[in-house]
Amino acid sequence: MTLKELAAKLGVSTATVSNAFNRPDQLSPLLRERILNEAKQLGYRGPDAKARSLRTGRSRIIAVILAESLTYSLNDAVASELLSGIAEVLDAHGHTMLLLSGRKNASQVPGSSSIADGFIVYGLMPSLMLLDDLPLPNQRPLVAVDFSLEGYPAVHIDNEPAGYAIANHALKTSSRRPGIINLRLTKHPCNDRVAPDQELLPADRTITRSRLTGFHRALDEHGIDPASVPMWNIEENTHDVCAPVIASILDLPDDERPDLLLCMSDRIALTALTLAEQRGLRVPEDLRLTGFDGIAEGQYRSPRLTTMRQDSVEKGRVAARMILGLEPPRAQLLHTELVVGDSCP
């Protein structure tokens, strides 16, 4: 059943039926009523989305491009919260969300995304690969989240001050052997200890670099040479990838094992917490731990995680509002908040 068929059956023109659905003021209420009723009766669900989007140029679909695989992103608390925030705003304004992965995929049909009215890009890596094939990147709105893209609005959090704040808090209690567990920080993939001469990604390639800068500033202020603090790196923010690296840290001899671990994410810190408990290490007595993100899982357990809370949901809301033109497309910086839990009082 198409609009045209419906018009024929009703003995009116297609324009009138179209107007009945889209521009109520263009026809008599009575006729409109009759058309809508008859439409429902005959099983006509309203204008076809494909034809309408071709005609109008808009689809009411916003594409969200995620750096990591969808499989990973959907199971990551921070990414999920971001998506929640985006979904909330889109939903409230009659839009829907198309999920795309930034990973290059053999069978990927990049063109298929040209259906979207706008793009929210989350996380850096894919964007560089993708922006080239992104359909009309400069004709449709695009908002970057958690990284910067020349010429486009972006939503960020205050990574350096946040890193400083939590490290500063942790160091107020003196630590004999602090350690740092990074996330996607090294130029070359590395799930291991970071060698002193290992090349790191610049701040515009990974958010954790700025956090590390903040850590280092705090260490400096507390009279600790950052270069003397051992660092590890983890490539993926999942329990299974974190566990072996953290196990290797916790299994160091007592006089080498850090007594304070500054972690770049709550997932890392939670993994450390679990493994520490399994080894009979007491947190925070034997080992103090800090995370980053403020995910629910870290707060709904004991000991509660000490962390920097970032409002990922709000980050999503802001990005969505910008895409929909509900707020001016400018660079936005969201603030984080120190949450003092039990893992590092």
Helical residues (DSSP H) of the chain, grouped into ranges = 3-10, 14-22, 29-42, 49-56, 70-75, 77-92, 124-130, 159-172, 207-221, 239-250, 266-278, 296-299, 312-323
Mention every residue, 6+ apart, whose C-beta is less than 8 A from residue 226. Answer: 215, 216, 219, 220
User: Considering CB distances under 5 to 8 angstroms, the limit depending on partner class, which of a copy of itself, DNA, none binds residue 37?
Assistant: none
The Cα 302–Cα 284 span in angstroms is 11
Dihedral, CA of residue 75, residue 76, residue 81 and residue 84, to nearest 10? -30
Within residues 60-79, the interface with a copy of itself by CB under 8 A covers 60-61, 69-71, 74-75, 77
The residue behind tokens 């917490």 is 273
Based on the shown chain and the rule CB under 7 A, indicate whether residue 37 belongs to the binding site for DNA: no
Between 52 and 209, CB nearer to a copy of itself: 52
Rounded to whole angstroms, how far apart are CA atoms 267 and 184? 13
Check the CA dihedral 345-258-172-233 and report its sign.
negative
**Candidate list 11, 94, 151, 196; residue touching a copy of itself; CB under 8 A:** 94
Binding mask 232-261 for a copy of itself (x = CB under 8 A): -------x----------------------
Grouping H, G, I as helix, E, B as strand and the rest as coil, residue 180 is: strand
Does 5 bind a copy of itself (CB under 8 A)? Our answer is no
**Residues 110-129, mask of contacts with a copy of itself (x by CB under 8 A):** xxxxxx--------------
| The pairing of beta strand 192-193 with beta strand 231-234 | antiparallel
Give the footprint of DNA on residues 178-197 (CB under 7 A).
Answer: none
Part of the chain binding DNA (CB under 7 A), chosen from 10-18, 67-75, 210-218, 220-228: 10-18
Q: By CB under 7 A, is residue 56 in contact with DNA?
A: yes
Q: Is 297 in the site for a copy of itself (CB under 8 A)?
A: yes
Q: How many CA atoms lie within 13 A of 338 on its CB side?
A: 15
Decide: is 41 part of the binding site for a copy of itself (CB under 8 A): no
**Does residue 61 belong to the site contacting DNA (CB under 7 A)?**
no
The amino acid occupying position 172 is K
Question: Which residue ranges make up the site for DNA (CB under 7 A)?
Answer: 2-4, 11-16, 18-19, 21-23, 25-28, 31, 46-48, 50-52, 54-56
Which residues bind to a copy of itself, rule: CB under 8 A? 45-54, 57, 59-61, 69-71, 74-75, 77, 80-81, 83-84, 87-88, 91-94, 96-101, 105, 107-115, 133, 135-136, 239, 270-271, 274, 277-278, 296-297, 300-302
